[in-house]
Amino acid sequence: MTRTAAIVGGGVIGGGWAARFLLMGWDVRVFDPDPEAERKIGEVLANARRSLPGLHEVVLPSEGKLSFHSSLADAVSGAEWVTESVPERLDIKHRVYRDIQAAAPGAVIGSSTSGFKPSELQEGAAAPGMIVVTHPFNPVYLLPLAELVPSPANPAEVVERAKEVLTGIGMYPLHIKAEIDAHIADRFLEAVWREALWLINDGIATTEEIDNAIRYGFGLRWAQMGLFETYRIAGGEAGMRHFIAQFGPCLEWPWTKLMDVPELTDELIDAVADQSDAQSGRFSIRELERIRDANLVGIMRSLKGNGGAQSAGWGAGALLREQDQRLRGEERPDISGPILTVARAVPLDWTDYNGHMNEARYLQAFCDASDRFMEIVGCDADYIAAGGSYFTAETHIRHLGEVHAGERLEIRTQLLSGEGKKMHLFHEMRVGDDLKATGEHIMIHVSLETRRASAPGPEVARRMAEIGAAHAKLALPEGAGRSVGQRR
């Protein structure tokens, strides 16, 4: 059954929420009086369609239905979840909550507010317990963090319901158990922003130099380990205690001006704006968004880890792996025909200078298909940990058509032979009905202790024989057994 979310306020953040819900299979109903809202959300959604599916190793659910509504009551009617992303004014938010709860009394309302506490949002509400803070980060369709802040007025079941919704769309609900202005993350950002403004105001650094200090240095560490885990390593073998002992005294030195704010004079505003224009004004905002998204996809996919299916990932990469598993499910595959082993979108970082999928990625996609087939026959993480696996002995790939970023590809795998130590697979890669490539692979079962060929375990052998018997009834696929350069 399709679930429905309503988005009240369709700006940058509201549009990002709409894109994430839609691409995770929810129907989305939008209310925003801005006559440009539909165009703006359409542009955000286009960026999301280009980037989000490529984060995952599995295909996303079928996209939900997007609709725009001229009245708030019509938009929220029938929605189980309402995201509020209106301007940061309490009087506006209170009026919006009154109207939402009159039309959708059973909906959980998640506010995108970056500063207000939930108790402030709940003042005067008909059902204060249904309103929580769910503060995201831009772009919402890629960055998984949502600061989930309830108040004592929120029943535990509402908090758990919010966690379930956010987790289900691939986000990480950081449950903040005590109310505080600006929650957690924005308090750090404000501290960095204040000091950055002082550095510009005092003529110490430009906007570009400050950005370079972050993106070439500690920003790369923070992306995977945050603050404290990074500093734990900085303390060496003695860990955090040594780090504090070594660097703690500097807290008493007047390095920063975090307790004061430079006056935002016209001169300071002009300096910041002019330096920012000089730094990146050659790009439009939409171009910068696409550059940002491509970089985030590459970083987050890297954080999934380089250990293949056996790696748990790190930071945001671990969350992506968990979402992949939720999306994949545990359905037993149909073995009566070639088995669906890969269904995914082509990531942005899989393309090359020719604008299509790099040849090495064809091999990776077929390797992923082989790994999935191994799991299906029982050669999974536990089996490999016990000392058995398959090694590839020979591979032949035919490139029959171009594949581009964002396209949904499927690979189906036929077992040509699975007797004894050998496993002979034939993969077909398609985009829609178009055959784009084939991969033929011979793999040998080995003992990871001796690194030599060995007979597979009895359960793997049984499952291989079951699939082999089913696939023996199939026709030999076109291209099987071809040699390199052989004429068609």
Q: pLDDT tens for residues 120-135?
A: 999 999 999 999 999 9
Determine the pLDDT at residue 465.
Answer: 95
Taking residues 402-427, report their average pLDDT. Answer: 95
Weakest-pLDDT range from 166-175, 274-283, 372-381, 408-417: 274-283
Please state whether 445 falls in left (phi above 0), alpha (psi between -120 and 50) or beta: beta
CB proximity list for 435: less than 8 A, separation 6 or greater = 400, 401, 428, 429
**Which residues pair with residue 285 across a beta bridge?**
none
What one-character-per-residue DSSP string does 80-116 give?
A: SEEEE---S-HHHHHHHHHHHHHH-TT-EEEE--SS-
Please report which confidence band the pLDDT of residue 309 belongs to, taking 50, 70 and 90 as the band edges: very low
Determine the pLDDT at residue 307.
Answer: 43
Instruction: Determine the longest span between alpha carbons in the chain, in angstroms.
Output: 79
pLDDT above 90 (res 75): yes
Q: pLDDT tens for residues 333-376?
A: 899 999 999 999 998 889 888 989 999 999 999 999 999 999 99
pLDDT above 60 (res 308): no
Determine the pLDDT at residue 488.
Answer: 66
Check: pTM over 0.85? Answer yes or no: no
Q: Report which residue type is found at 152.
A: P
Please report which confidence band the pLDDT of residue 152 belongs to, taking 50, 70 and 90 as the band edges: very high
Q: Report which residue type is found at 149.
A: V
Percent of the chain with pLDDT over 90: 69
Q: Can you list the domains of the chain with their CATH numbers?
A: 4-175 (3.40.50.720), 188-282 (1.10.1040.10), 331-471 (3.10.129.10)
Determine the pLDDT at residue 474.
Answer: 95
Higher pLDDT, 59 or 414: 414
Q: What angle do CA 24, 174, 66 make, to 5 degrees?
A: 25
Q: pLDDT tens for residues 276-289?
A: 888 888 888 888 88
Determine the pLDDT at residue 402.
Answer: 96
Alpha-carbon distance 487 to 223, whole Å? 50
